[in-house]
Amino acid sequence: MHGATVDGAPAAYNRAANELTLRPRDEIPDGTEFRATVTYTGVPEPLTDADGSKEGWLRTADGAVAVGEPAGSMTWFPGNNHPSDKAAYDITLTVPAGYEGISNGVRTTRRTERDGRVTTVWHEAEPMASYLATVAVGRYETGTATALGSVPVLTAAEKPVAARTAALRAEVPTILARQVELFGPYPFSAAGATVTADGPLHYALETQTRPVFPVSSFDRPTLVHEMSHQWYGDSVTPATWRDIWLNEGFATYGEWLYGERYEHVPIRTRYETAFAQDANWAFPPASPPTAENLFEPPVYQRGAMVLYKLRETVGDRLFDEILRGWPAKYRHSTATTADFTAYAESVAGRDLGALWDVWLYGDEKPARP
């Protein structure tokens, strides 16, 4: 690290493990806005999560891809690395000649420097949690389109996988238009997808406006899932990681609903399949026992089952109001499981405690689906 300023004045700083402390020269009164600037250089590395997966800055054969759920953003930029603290982002990337840098939001600038390097500037105007920031550097082919009449779409794929992913990348505007029908207004001012060749990234992630996929995970259900997260997870973000089912249960249900509405796959079949699988019952979705369990089947599949049962209980009309009203009420904000259950009950006009007790918090698998 080279230095820090607060409101332009040099600030003392101290770094201990993952914590960076700035000490401004002058005291900042409570409630006052201030600007902190941290100047640093470094060679970023990945980190290993409690469940053994790698995240953060992942090196590829000739570049890198950075993903940050839940903790990896701190491997490449300093920030208050908590899902409840969001900010707008401007990211500028300068990469070697022949390479492209890809990030979140709208690409406002792309220029070739005198030495042949390529600089791009990315603007994410809407609030973003640090875990949703992304960067990809490599030999990418990009494609652009417009969705919803005015939203710029930019997709990118590493050149060896560009041709075989082009058709699905071109579906982004159609999927987005359909999801607006299902979920309500799109919360962001850019969209797209980034597809890497298979390498160190083993899973797709809903990085804001531009989810990232290893090519082996780039299929329509996964694209629909990660795009569903733009409403459920990226715009309405869990207040704590224990509330992660608000991301994964909803995005999984988003896949089911898309299948029901647009692909003639009965949602009852999806639900019964999920109900039958023992792995989905290892723990209740609203209380994953440890950090190792955040991304396990009950969070996804049983989380989606909660929404299926909610729809069965309140009926299609009220359920639709809840599904669309939730991301409207908490747009660009954060929420807890208790916020959701209270919201659903307020729309339904009745207590739903029995439903939550069994499906959201219960340890026992119900006798019948």
Binding stretches for Zn ion (CB under 5 A): 248, 251
- Of 120 and 207, nearer to Zn ion (C-beta) is 207
Nearest CA among 344, 323, 206 for reference residue 254:
323
The two tokens of residue 86 are 């969001």
- Of 132 and 318, nearer to Zn ion (C-beta) is 132
Contacts of 70 (CB under 8 A, 6+ apart): 49, 55, 83, 131, 241, 291, 294
- Of 65 and 251, nearer to Zn ion (C-beta) is 251
- Of 245 and 281, nearer to Zn ion (C-beta) is 245
Task: Name the minimum Å distance from CB 305 to Zn ion.
Answer: 16
- Of 20 and 251, nearer to Zn ion (C-beta) is 251
Task: Name the minimum Å distance from CB 272 to Zn ion.
Answer: 22
**Sequence-separated contacts (24+) of 352-356 with Cβ below 8 Å:** 352/310, 352/313, 352/314, 355/306, 355/309, 355/310, 355/313, 356/286
